[in-house]
Chains A and B, each alone.
Chain A
Amino acid sequence: MVKQPITRREFIGASAAAGAGLLLTSCSQESNQPAAGGKTSALSKINIALIGCGAQGQVLLDSLQVIEGIRLVAVVDIWDYNRNSNVARLKKNGFEVKGYENYEDLLAHEKDLQAVVVATPDFWHAPITNACLKAGLHVYCEKMMSNTLDGARSMVKTMRETGKLLQIGHQRRSNPRYIFALNRLIKEAQMCGRLTAAQAQWNRAKTDDLGWPKKTELKPEQLAKYGFKDMHQFRNWRWFKGLGGGPLSDLGAHQIDIFNWWFGKTASSVVASAGADYYQNHDWYDNAMVIYEFSLTGADGKPYTARAFYQVQTTTSAGGGYFEQFMGDEGTIKMSENPSITKIYREDRAKSWDDLVAKNFLSASAVERPAGDADKVDVRETAPLLQYDIPVSFNKKIHQPHLENFFNAIRGTAKLNCPADEAFSSEYIIHKANESVASQKVIAMTKEETEA
């Protein structure tokens, strides 16, 4: 019988039967991060605020509005147009929220907050996160942690000093499909055999710079107060050095983090090439190609090197969307947040995957025909090529599980899936890729330097 992906509906139904829920419950991510525990009971609402209501803030708001057990009490944005429209929209949707211009005002006025979600431009992440942690709040901060390594280090330091939780927004680390693929297929079943290479990409079409509605411009003194040269830079901060880290940090951060996570090691060297060749009014490059090396140990106990290639193109959407592909000598997993892009390939030399299908580690498009005797053959209809898939479906908004993991960690019922100290290693190798572009040299990285 062909096994269908387990949907939420089926999972709820199946959970009633003893043992049927093992598949998904076994997907919980392991972490060394201690749970927050503390005063917040499992039943009480967690009061939170969102700091930064731009494009990424909107994505997080979509999830925050449907997560049970939290109360969104405030939104913060220096741009009154963004702030006021979000307050109005949230009130329309039943949320009694207040709006504040900056995080200082928020901290001064909201005394019953337990946590904040930070989605500001990167260069504000460290100061805001550090201040909120010191104010006794748990923090969910979008990646990149900071536009500088010093900023990122300071966040880890403050997290440790305050004992508060700091989750970094690498949301794939809480995605049930990613967790399942790593824990069951890569680690337990070793389905790929020896992992020899990885590649990932996020290519997107050329877009014009963002504008702003007339009469909503921030005043020059206000822009200067918050570190922006002008309104164009404010709206397009991702492209400017000193504010953001360019496309490798915007898009690549998510996927380069998967290299570290799935290889179970931090890259040992990086070489990269990139250029600001297309957009003449941007600081950061438009296209980048990066190669990392990972020092791994084979099943035979011998060390070997695997390489991972990453590309981000901001002038063409060609190339098959966004994905992370891990290639081994027995199989390959092409993962994506978009399930339609996910693919699993089996090398002919690999042993049969029937047992993995039987254990529901994989779903198969058809039953594999027995090999039969070598001296005989039966002729019939053309057999379809066997196709495999991950038998876990996931219907929530893609950021929702990562936010839920954060809130559950606050309640003491989970451990963070991406605490800041773990995220720092990915942060480090991304900054070093930018450094490699600038120096045009291969940069070696020791384990010690990649840890905060």
Chain B
Amino acid sequence: MSEPVIHVFNHNAMATQFQVRIADEEKTYAAQTAQAAFALTDQLESLLSRFRANSDITQIAQLVVGEKLRVSEPVFACLDLARKMEFATRGAFSVTAAALKTQPAKPLWALVQKEFSIRCDSGRLEFDLGAIGKGFALDRMAEVLREWSCPAFLLVAGGSSILAGDAPKETAGWSCGLGEDHSTHRYWLKNESLSGSGLAVKGKHILDPRTGQPARRQNRVWALADSAAESDALSTAAMVLTESEITDVVAKNKMWLVFLNEEKKWRQLGLRPLPPMV
């Protein structure tokens, strides 16, 4: 097998670095494709960031109880996914987790499909999409890359979420490791997403939405799923779930797999078949 030619492009967005890797394509065209994908990332950030004064998420935080706001399609889609992930993880993932720092209870909200709007039912809707927004952006970027006929890609958000497209020619996939650089625990991934969460970089930054306290169940987890939004949210949820809770959660979705690593021993929870090891 000859080494595939892979073009790598970087872009800062959502307070981290996004990377597009494109294989089997001419360089200028690959650069233009990456540029189109990054333009979408910037647009998504302008809608999803709670740090942008004009974002939908900032406007949502200003809603009073009973008030509705029509939101952009990507915001509606992302919140819809977030709601589904909150349900699927039994509340272990929640975009309102951070609101517990300033409010006695999690605010309540509803999506009104026919109006593409969100309604504030109680409290203040202080959403933090940090644990799903980057994955969501990767999924949308992948649509752009496929539109541009660049199916052999690998997308990376901040080193913690990746979304693999088709395998580069004459390869079994994209070599993705769990953990530190040059990890020996590696899989060939294609058309699937892997995300990791842990306390190593940002300390105890993951709050358990069920208690409002920092997560203490796991030190590091990885989640494998079809979409990056799912793997991103699932890995965050798994941080605050017990092992038996994780087992129950992944049993309900056959396309999910969670990796745990304790005392240098790897274990997988879930029914999704393991990808081939490198």
Measuring CB to CB, which residues of chain A are less than 8 angstroms from any residue of chain B?
Answer: 7-9, 12-13, 55, 58, 62, 65-66, 68, 85, 89, 92-94, 207-215, 338-340, 393-398
Judging by beta carbons under 8 Å apart, are B35 and A62 in contact?
A: no
Judging by beta carbons under 8 Å apart, are B54 and A62 in contact?
A: no
Min C-beta distance of B264 to chain A, whole Å: 44
- B64 within 8 Å of A by Cβ? yes
Judging by beta carbons under 8 Å apart, are B62 and A62 in contact?
A: no
* Contact mask for chain B residues 54-78; partner A; CB cutoff 8 A; 1 contact, 0 none: 1010110111100101111100100
Judging by beta carbons under 8 Å apart, are A211 and B32 in contact?
A: yes
Residue from the set B63, B67, B148 with the largest chain A CB neighbour count within 10 Å: B148
Judging by beta carbons under 8 Å apart, are A93 and B73 in contact?
A: yes
Partner of B53, one of A65, A66, A395: A395
Partner of A208, one of B32, B61, B116: B32
Q: Tell me, in angstroms, the Cα distance from A393 to B114 when the chains sit together.
A: 30
Chain B neighbourhood of A92, CB < 8 A: 73
Judging by beta carbons under 8 Å apart, are A211 and B33 in contact?
A: yes
Q: Tell me, in angstroms, the Cα distance from A395 to B54 when the chains sit together.
A: 4
| 18 A–B contacts, CB within 8 A, in A order | A9-B61, A9-B63, A13-B64, A55-B39, A62-B43, A65-B70, A65-B72, A66-B71, A93-B116, A207-B35, A208-B28, A208-B35, A211-B32, A211-B33, A213-B147, A214-B29, A215-B149, A394-B54
Residue from the set B39, B53, B70, B71 with the largest chain A CB neighbour count within 10 Å: B53
Chain A neighbourhood of B58, CB < 8 A: 395
Q: Tell me, in angstroms, the Cα distance from A208 to B70 when the chains sit together.
A: 35
Judging by beta carbons under 8 Å apart, are A210 and B148 in contact?
A: no
Partner of B72, one of A66, A211, A215, A395: A66
Min C-beta distance of B193 to chain A, whole Å: 22
Contacts A9-B62, A211-B35 aside, 12 further interface pairs with beta carbons under 8 A come to: A65-B116, A66-B69, A68-B70, A89-B73, A93-B116, A94-B114, A208-B28, A211-B28, A211-B36, A212-B32, A395-B54, A396-B59
* Contact mask for chain B residues 104-115; partner A; CB cutoff 8 A; 1 contact, 0 none: 000000000011
Partner of A397, one of B54, B114, B116, B149: B54
Q: Which B residues from 29 to 57 make CB contacts under 8 A with A?
A: 29, 31-33, 35-36, 39, 43, 47, 53-54, 56
Chain B neighbourhood of A207, CB < 8 A: 35
Q: Tell me, in angstroms, the Cα distance from A292 to B29 when the chains sit together.
A: 41
Judging by beta carbons under 8 Å apart, are A393 and B35 in contact?
A: no
Q: Tell me, in angstroms, the Cα distance from A267 to B64 when the chains sit together.
A: 45
Min C-beta distance of B60 to chain A, whole Å: 9
Closest to A397 in B: B54
Min C-beta distance of A335 to chain B, whole Å: 14
Interface residues on chain B, number (Cβ under 8 Å): 32
Min C-beta distance of B57 to chain A, whole Å: 10
Closest to B115 in A: A94
Closest to A398 in B: B54
Judging by beta carbons under 8 Å apart, are B63 and A208 in contact?
A: no
Partner of A395, one of B59, B73, B76: B59
Chain B neighbourhood of A13, CB < 8 A: 64
Closest to A85 in B: B147
The 4 closest A-B pairs by CB, nearest first: A211-B32, A9-B62, A93-B73, A213-B148
Chain A neighbourhood of B149, CB < 8 A: 213-215
Q: Tell me, in angstroms, the Cα distance from A207 to B64 when the chains sit together.
A: 42
Judging by beta carbons under 8 Å apart, are A339 and B70 in contact?
A: no
Q: Which B residues from 154 to 170 make CB contacts under 8 A with A?
A: none
Judging by beta carbons under 8 Å apart, are A9 and B64 in contact?
A: yes
Chain A neighbourhood of B114, CB < 8 A: 94
Min C-beta distance of A239 to chain B, whole Å: 15
Closest to B30 in A: A211
Judging by beta carbons under 8 Å apart, are B70 and A395 in contact?
A: no
Min C-beta distance of B25 to chain A, whole Å: 10
Judging by beta carbons under 8 Å apart, are A7 and B62 in contact?
A: yes
Q: Tell me, in angstroms, the Cα distance from A395 to B28 when the chains sit together.
A: 38
Min C-beta distance of A397 to chain B, whole Å: 5
Judging by beta carbons under 8 Å apart, are B54 and A396 in contact?
A: yes
Q: Tell me, in angstroms, the Cα distance from A161 to B120 when the chains sit together.
A: 47
Closest to A93 in B: B73
Min C-beta distance of A210 to chain B, whole Å: 7
Judging by beta carbons under 8 Å apart, are B54 and A210 in contact?
A: no
Q: Tell me, in angstroms, the Cα distance from A211 to B61 when the chains sit together.
A: 37
Chain B neighbourhood of A68, CB < 8 A: 70
Judging by beta carbons under 8 Å apart, are B47 and A93 in contact?
A: no
Partner of A66, one of B43, B67, B70: B70
A7-B62, A395-B54 given; A208·B31 CB < 8 A: yes
Judging by beta carbons under 8 Å apart, are B47 and A62 in contact?
A: yes
Q: Tell me, in angstroms, the Cα distance from A413 to B33 when the chains sit together.
A: 45
Judging by beta carbons under 8 Å apart, are A8 and B59 in contact?
A: yes
Closest to B59 in A: A395
Q: Tell me, in angstroms, the Cα distance from A92 to B80 when the chains sit together.
A: 14
Closest to A340 in B: B53
Closest to A89 in B: B73
Closest to A11 in B: B62
Min C-beta distance of A142 to chain B, whole Å: 18
Min C-beta distance of B133 to chain A, whole Å: 17
Judging by beta carbons under 8 Å apart, are A210 and B35 in contact?
A: yes
Q: Tell me, in angstroms, the Cα distance from A7 to B32 when the chains sit together.
A: 40
Residue from the set B28, B54, B116, B148 with the largest chain A CB neighbour count within 10 Å: B54
Closest to B39 in A: A55
Judging by beta carbons under 8 Å apart, are A339 and B53 in contact?
A: yes
Chain A neighbourhood of B28, CB < 8 A: 208, 211
Chain A neighbourhood of B35, CB < 8 A: 207-208, 210-211
Min C-beta distance of A101 to chain B, whole Å: 20
Q: Tell me, in angstroms, the Cα distance from A287 to B175 when the chains sit together.
A: 43
Q: Tell me, in angstroms, the Cα distance from A13 to B149 when the chains sit together.
A: 51
Q: Tell me, in angstroms, the Cα distance from A214 to B148 when the chains sit together.
A: 6
Min C-beta distance of A36 to chain B, whole Å: 25
Q: Tell me, in angstroms, the Cα distance from A68 to B71 when the chains sit together.
A: 11
Q: Tell me, in angstroms, the Cα distance from A180 to B62 when the chains sit together.
A: 21
Q: Tell me, in angstroms, the Cα distance from A12 to B66 when the chains sit together.
A: 13
Chain B neighbourhood of A397, CB < 8 A: 54
Q: Tell me, in angstroms, the Cα distance from A209 to B47 when the chains sit together.
A: 25
Closest to B144 in A: A213
Partner of A8, one of B32, B43, B62, B76: B62
Min C-beta distance of A112 to chain B, whole Å: 23
Q: Which B residues from 1 to 49 make CB contacts under 8 A with A?
A: 28-29, 31-33, 35-36, 39, 43, 47
Chain A neighbourhood of B33, CB < 8 A: 211, 213
Min C-beta distance of B42 to chain A, whole Å: 11
Chain B neighbourhood of A340, CB < 8 A: 53
Min C-beta distance of B77 to chain A, whole Å: 9
